[in-house]
């Protein structure tokens, strides 16, 4: 996942990345090189017009040079549209939201699908789930519930004297838990000030000798722990990251006759996967950044008193906070009980299966605009002014992903891909699944996890059909692999947030992230043919 796919709630993702990444001075050589460019070329580069033109140029070349046969003109055009959209996504030629709206005019113009058909992909139950979750997350942020929770749990794990391993467990565990219920990017943005606030108690460069080294190592562990725990927690639920949402949407698009992936069914698989990754994260941080002297060095500057002082400044929990927590807790219960097992169908049976996870999410979010805040007459827990920071670019990106999935199907491109992948028939599924995860995991280090998921899932769905295995045996590894973006600052907005603090380097991210990434692939290889088969019914024929 890259910085274009998320960011602080208050601004667009592009603004966040540019403000958080370190700014480097332009050298004299750089000025000389720039001045040597012709004015027209310099203007085109400065305004990004070359990147903008690269999209339609790629589409034109594909439409002119690729020959899939006269009966597959729509499929050829679909390839051109894909190239156009993905180049704009990858190069950031236009804002992410604008690039994500491109299918709304490209599909009808290129004859892929009608205007009505592509527009419908931008609003379904999955999009409702995301919108409602964003509104609830804004309410949690507005009333500082996330900060109160973080300080409570972290002070519980601090220890007296300080136990670095337990403190890391508290910080990372809190981050993971919060990220399970809101998007991992805002979770990182919310938790990083809490984490760096703790680190600011340390003397940093003012310390000398071995203590200074211990402070630097522990600071790296805290920052990396927040970044990676946020990504790991998001993997556990459908609301934690866009990749899971895209998987659910594409599964229902390609295989509408199959049992849908629900919030509870995904959590039954995603939570154990996240817990294994979290254990690997904690062990890696403790082994690499904590020594026998770390606790002694930290105890002189960091204790529970600081955390409790920060907590006391928040004051007692107000009525509004309690009501937001009640609404959020009620939503979690509804998510978990909508569909339980075949023998215990859940409450959705009362509505003949007409309701979805998005239905109850919007319903509970609506309550926030009805329940009074208790602060003044007529004031509600939320008003639309507080929602001005909704991440519409994420919503539009998800809609674009669903539209592309529909385009693959309606244009006939899926049938062509199935023919191309026919040579893989007979390949062992358990050998192909880890390869799919690694393939997706490599791409996601350079582009967004959402864009990666959108790109690889249609291919993996057709690969599953060609190989003759259940498509989820490949689609789930593709979605999970897209979330294993741990190596580079460009891997995700959360990575950029951590890198911008100045506590970590790219080398730190690579060295720490690589073992976690390897464990992720191994955990998927272990859980998918066992727990995954039971949860998703992958032993049944599609």
Give how many domains the chain has, as a whole number.
Answer: 1
CA 273, CA 236: separation in Å to the nearest integer?
7
Pick from 65, 120, 68: nearest CA to 402: 120
Give residue-wise pLDDT tens across range 326-340: 998 888 888 778 766
3-state secondary structure 155-173: HHHHCCCCCHHHHHHHHHH
CA 89, CA 97: separation in Å to the nearest integer?
9
- Residue at 290 is within a domain: yes
Using an 8 Å Cβ cutoff, are 351 and 359 in contact?
no
Tell me if residue 487 falls in helix, strand or coil. Answer: coil
- Residue at 30 is within a domain: no
Burial of residue 253, with CB atoms counted within 10 A of its CB: 0-12 exposed, 13-18 middle, 19 or more buried: buried
DSSP conformation letters of 346-380: -GGGGGTT---HHHHHHHHHHHTTTSB-SSSTT-B
CB atoms inside a 10 Å sphere around CB 532: 23
Give residue-wise pLDDT tens across range 275-313: 999 999 999 999 998 887 877 777 777 667 777 887 888
- Residue at 341 is within a domain: yes
- Residue at 232 is within a domain: yes
Q: What is residue 364's predicted lDDT score, i.e. its pLDDT? A: 92
CA 106, CA 77: separation in Å to the nearest integer?
10
Q: What is the pTM of this model?
A: 0.68
- Residue at 10 is within a domain: no
- Residue at 75 is within a domain: no
Neighbouring-strand partners of residue 178:
none
The phi, psi pair for 66, rounded to 5°, reads: -85, 130
Q: Copy the structure tokens of residue 117.
A: 């058909």
Q: What is residue 140's predicted lDDT score, i.e. its pLDDT? A: 82
Q: What is residue 439's predicted lDDT score, i.e. its pLDDT? A: 84
Per-residue pLDDT for the chain (542 aa), expressed as one digit of tens each?
A: 444 344 333 333 333 333 333 333 434 444 444 445 566 556 656 667 888 999 999 999 999 998 887 888 888 999 999 899 888 887 878 888 898 899 999 999 999 889 998 998 888 777 887 788 788 878 887 888 877 876 777 777 776 777 888 888 988 998 898 888 877 777 787 777 777 767 776 776 655 666 778 888 888 999 999 999 999 998 998 878 888 888 988 888 888 888 888 888 899 999 999 999 999 999 999 999 888 787 777 777 766 777 788 788 888 888 999 999 999 888 888 877 876 655 667 787 888 778 887 888 899 999 999 999 888 778 899 999 888 888 787 788 778 877 887 887 788 886 777 666 665 666 666 677 888 888 888 878 766 677 778 778 888 887 777 777 788 888 999 999 999 988 877 677 677 778 777 788 888 888 999 999 999 999 998 888 888 888 887 766 66
Residue 27: alpha-carbon gap to chain centroid: 36
CA 224, CA 226: separation in Å to the nearest integer?
5
CA distances from 307 to 142, 156, 158, 219, 506 (A): 21, 9, 9, 17, 30
Q: Is the dihedral of CA 39, 42, 43, 49 positive or negative?
A: positive
CA atoms within 13 A on the CB side of 307: 26
- Residue at 20 is within a domain: no
DSSP conformation letters of 232-280: HHHTTSTTS-HHHHHHHHHHHHH-TTSPPPPHHHHHHHHHHHHHHHHHH
CA distances from 324 to 137, 233, 361, 364, 368 (A): 10, 21, 13, 10, 7
CA 456, CA 482: separation in Å to the nearest integer?
9
CA 270, CA 265: separation in Å to the nearest integer?
9
The phi, psi pair for 473, rounded to 5°, reads: -65, -20
Pick from 362, 306, 319, 403: nearest CA to 101: 403
CA distances from 63 to 68, 81, 110, 414 (A): 10, 9, 10, 17
Q: What is residue 375's predicted lDDT score, i.e. its pLDDT? A: 82
Neighbouring-strand partners of residue 380:
372
- Residues near 420 by beta carbon (within 8 Å), at least 6 away in sequence: none
Using an 8 Å Cβ cutoff, are 126 and 358 in contact?
yes
Domain with 180 in it: 144-239+262-389
Using an 8 Å Cβ cutoff, are 246 and 234 in contact?
no
Give the containing element (helix H, strand E) for 417. helix 413-420
The owner of tokens 């849908």 is: 260
CB atoms inside a 10 Å sphere around CB 226: 28
DSSP conformation letters of 471-484: THHHHHHHHHHHT-
Pick from 275, 325, 260: nearest CA to 129: 260
- Residue at 514 is within a domain: no
Q: What is residue 282's predicted lDDT score, i.e. its pLDDT? A: 94
Peptide bond into 274 cis (omega under 30): no
Q: What is residue 28's predicted lDDT score, i.e. its pLDDT? A: 41
Q: What is residue 70's predicted lDDT score, i.e. its pLDDT? A: 80
CA 129, CA 254: separation in Å to the nearest integer?
20
């Amino acid at each position: 996942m890259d910085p274009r796919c998320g960011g602080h709630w208050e601004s667009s993702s592009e603004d966040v990345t540019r403000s958080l990444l370190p700014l480097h001075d332009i050298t004299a050589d750089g000025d000389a090189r720039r001045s040597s460019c012709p004015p027209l070329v310099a203007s085109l580069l400065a305004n990004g017009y070359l990147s903008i033109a690269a999209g339609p140029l790629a589409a034109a070349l594909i439409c002119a040079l690729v020959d899939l046969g006269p009966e597959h003109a729509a499929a050829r055009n679909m390839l051109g549209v894909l190239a156009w959209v993905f180049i704009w996504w990858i190069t950031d030629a236009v804002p992410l939201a604008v690039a994500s709206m491109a299918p709304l005019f490209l599909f009808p113009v290129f004859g892929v699908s009608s205007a009505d058909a592509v527009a419908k992909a931008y609003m379904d139950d999955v999009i409702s789930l995301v919108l409602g979750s964003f509104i609830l997350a804004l309410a949690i942020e507005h009333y500082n519930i996330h900060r109160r929770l973080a300080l409570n749990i972290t002070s519980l794990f601090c220890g007296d004297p300080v136990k670095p391993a337990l403190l890391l467990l508290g910080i990372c565990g809190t981050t993971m838990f919060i990220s399970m219920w809101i998007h991992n990017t805002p979770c990182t943005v919310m938790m990083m000030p809490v984490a760096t606030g703790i680190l600011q108690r340390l003397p940093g460069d003012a310390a000398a000798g071995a203590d200074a080294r211990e402070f630097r190592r522990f600071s790296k562990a805290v920052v990396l722990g927040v970044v990676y725990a946020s990504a790991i927690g998001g993997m556990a639920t459908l609301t934690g990251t866009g990749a899971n949402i895209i998987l659910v949407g594409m599964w229902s698009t390609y295989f509408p006759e199959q049992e849908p992936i629900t919030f509870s069914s995904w959590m039954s698989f995603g939570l154990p996967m996240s817990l294994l990754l979290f254990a690997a994260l904690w062990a890696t941080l403790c082994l690499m950044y904590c020594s026998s002297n770390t606790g002694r060095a930290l105890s002189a500057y960091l204790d529970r008193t600081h955390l409790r002082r920060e907590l006391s400044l928040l004051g007692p929990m107000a009525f509004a906070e309690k009501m937001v927590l009640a609404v959020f807790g009620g939503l979690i219960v509804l998510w978990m009980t909508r569909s339980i097992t075949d023998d215990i169908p859940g409450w959705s049976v009362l509505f003949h299966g007409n309701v979805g996870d998005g239905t109850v999410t919007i319903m509970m979010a609506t309550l926030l605009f009805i329940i009074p805040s208790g602060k003044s007459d007529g004031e509600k827990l939320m008003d639309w002014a507080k929602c001005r920071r909704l991440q519409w670019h994420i919503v539009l990106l998800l809609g674009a992903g669903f539209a592309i999935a529909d385009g693959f199907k309606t244009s006939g491109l899926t049938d062509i891909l199935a023919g191309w992948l026919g040579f893989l028939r007979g390949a062992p599924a358990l050998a192909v699944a880890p390869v799919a995860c690694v393939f997706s995991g490599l791409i996601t280090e350079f582009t967004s996890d959402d864009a990666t998921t959108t790109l690889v899932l249609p291919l993996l769905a057709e690969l599953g059909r060609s190989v003759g295995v259940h498509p989820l045996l490949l689609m789930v590894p593709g979605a999970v692999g897209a979330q294993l973006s741990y190596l580079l600052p460009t891997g995700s907005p959360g990575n950029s947030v951590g890198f911008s603090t100045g506590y970590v380097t790219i080398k730190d991210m690579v060295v720490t992230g690589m073992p976690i990434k390897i464990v992720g692939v191994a955990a998927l290889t272990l859980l998918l043919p066992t727990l995954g088969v039971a949860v998703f019914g992958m032993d049944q024929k599609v």
